[in-house]
Every structure is written in structure tokens, then in C-alpha cells.
């Protein structure tokens, strides 16, 4: 057994001794120390997990805060705190609908596994978000930005020319229908008044 392993195990034993001492002595300060000691054990168990998180992924905090109720922060919205019995690990997350308990157990390893799964899910979500953001920013073929060729609020010369062409075509069609209507009206008038117009036109 190397010295590093002996040191690590000794520190675990010291923490457990502090927890046992706090449980024997019903003192608030000692109980807070016991909570912190338990959370330190959990932090040590999770340290290899957070070492594998890429350096560019800055969404995790992973630090142990002090105060009346020590907390092991995983990220800005999730942390672990000890339950009222001082033995139960409570892994919670703050949401827009309130605080949600993700995992709650007196078994350190079980809570560590839940936190590991949470970290993995957050990493996958970040990777998918970055991938989709890259697609939208570069302008995928067939996207609205690609079709418009730039800012949608600006009118390109080609588009303006197309609008002018459509307007001219519509005006010519309207004029053609108007002229056709005049011809048809004239023919109807001639048909109705043919007997009166025939002598004038010299028709038989």
C-alpha cells in the first residue's frame, strides 16, 4: 500500500471519527461539522468524476459551501445537503416550479451514482445545444437566411425587380380584360340594334 492510499484512507477515518463525535455530543456546531464531514466524503467520491469533465464545460461548480447548513454544489441550480436526521444525503435541484429532490439516501454510493448520471445528462444536453446552435449560426441549406440571402428586412435589387415585373404584368392583364370587355359590349350592341344599323352601314 502506497503512502497516497494510506493518507486518503486516514483522512476518511478522521472524518468518520468527527461524525461519530458529533453524534455523541448534541452540540449545534459539532453537528454542522458532522454535516460538512459527510459532504466531504461525498466530494472525495465524486472528485474523479469531475476531473473527467472537459475544461471548456464551465456549467459545473462543484464546491463545498460553509454556513449554517453546508452544501455541496454541483452546478448553479443543484446541490447536496444533509437531511434533518443528519445521515441522509439529499440531492436537490431548483426549478421554476420549486425545489425538486433528485435523490435522497443514506447510502453515499447511491447518491454519488445519481450525481454522476446528472452530470452526464447535463453534458449531453450542452453538446446537443452547441451542435444545434452551430447549425443555425452557419445557415443550413434551405434555411430562411439562406433563401433570403441576408437580412430579411432588406429588399435585394433582384427581389425588387421581381416585384416591379409582377406589378407590370398585372396592369397589362387588367388593361387587356378591359379592352376585351369593350369589344364584347360593342358586338352586343351591334347585335341588338342590327336592323337599325344595317341601312346606315350599307349592309344587305
Residues 111 and 50 in one domain: yes
The values of phi and psi at residue 101, to 5°, are -85, 115
Q: Using CA atoms, how far apart are residues 134 and 128, in angstroms rounded to an integer?
A: 10
Q: Name, of 26-30, 31-35, 123-127, 140-144, the range with top average pLDDT.
A: 123-127
Does residue 20 fall inside a structural domain? yes
143, part of any domain: no
Q: Say if 196 falls within a structural domain.
A: yes
Residues 93, 179 within the same domain: no
Q: How confident is the model at residue 121 (pLDDT cuts 50, 70, 90)?
A: very high
Q: Specify whether the backbone of 86 is left (phi greater than 0), alpha (psi in -120 to 50) or beta.
A: left
- Rounded to a whole number, what is the largest CA-CA distance in the chain? 134
Report, as an integer, the average pLDDT of 88-113: 95
The answer to the question of residue 151 being in a domain is no
Q: Within this chain, do residues 20 and 75 fall inside the same structural domain, yes or no? A: yes
Q: Span 34-42, mean pLDDT? A: 90
- Asked if residue 63 and residue 32 are part of one domain, the reply reads yes
Per-residue pLDDT, 150: 46
DSSP annotation of 163: H
Give the phi and the psi of residue 179 in degrees, each rounded to 5.
-65, -40
**In a shared domain, residues 8 and 68:** yes
Instruction: Identify whether 153 is part of a domain.
Output: no
Containing H/E element for 70?
none
- How many domains does one find in the chain? 2
Residue 83 falls inside a structural domain: yes
Name the more confident of 90 and 156.
90
Same domain, 129 and 49: yes
Same domain, 70 and 105: yes
Mean pLDDT (whole number) for 13-29: 67
Residues 136, 44: Cα–Cα separation, whole Å: 40
Residue 185 counted as domain residue? yes
What is the domain extent for residue 162? 158-201
The pLDDT confidence band at residue 80, using thresholds 50, 70 and 90, is very high
Same domain, 129 and 73: yes
Residues 100 and 9 in one domain: yes
Identify the residue whose cell numbers are 378591359: 178
Are both 124 and 188 inside the same structural domain?
no
Q: pLDDT tens for residues 130-177?
A: 888 766 666 555 545 444 444 444 455 555 555 565 566 667 777 777
HSE value, Cβ hemisphere, 13 Å, CA-based, for 197: 9
33/115 same-domain check: yes
In a domain, 177, yes or no: yes
User: Are both 57 and 22 inside the same structural domain?
Assistant: yes
pLDDT of residue 42 exceeding 90, the answer is yes
Amino acid at each position: 500500500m502506497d503512502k497516497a492510499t494510506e493518507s486518503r484512507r486516514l483522512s476518511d477515518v478522521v472524518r468518520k471519527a468527527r461524525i461519530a463525535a458529533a453524534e455523541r455530543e448534541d452540540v449545534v456546531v459539532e453537528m454542522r461539522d458532522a454535516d460538512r464531514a459527510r459532504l466531504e466524503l461525498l466530494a472525495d467520491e465524486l472528485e474523479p468524476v469531475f476531473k473527467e469533465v472537459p475544461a471548456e464545460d464551465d456549467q459545473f461548480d462543484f464546491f463545498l459551501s460553509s454556513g449554517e447548513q453546508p452544501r455541496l454544489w454541483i452546478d448553479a441550480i443543484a446541490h447536496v445537503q444533509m437531511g434533518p436526521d443528519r445521515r441522509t444525503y439529499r440531492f436537490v435541484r431548483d426549478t421554476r416550479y420549486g425545489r425538486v429532490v433528485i435523490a435522497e439516501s443514506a447510502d453515499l454510493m447511491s447518491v454519488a451514482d445519481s450525481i454522476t448520471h446528472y452530470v452526464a445528462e447535463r453534458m449531453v444536453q450542452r453538446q446537443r445545444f452547441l451542435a444545434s446552435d452551430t447549425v443555425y449560426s452557419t445557415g443550413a441549406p434551405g434555411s430562411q437566411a439562406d433563401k433570403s440571402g441576408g437580412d430579411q428586412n432588406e429588399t435585394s435589387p433582384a427581389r425588387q425587380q421581381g416585384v416591379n415585373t409582377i406589378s407590370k404584368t398585372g396592369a397589362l392583364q387588367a388593361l387587356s380584360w378591359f379592352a376585351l370587355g369593350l369589344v364584347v359590349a360593342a358586338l352586343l350592341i351591334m347585335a341588338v340594334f342590327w336592323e337599325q344599323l344595317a341601312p346606315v352601314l350599307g349592309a344587305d
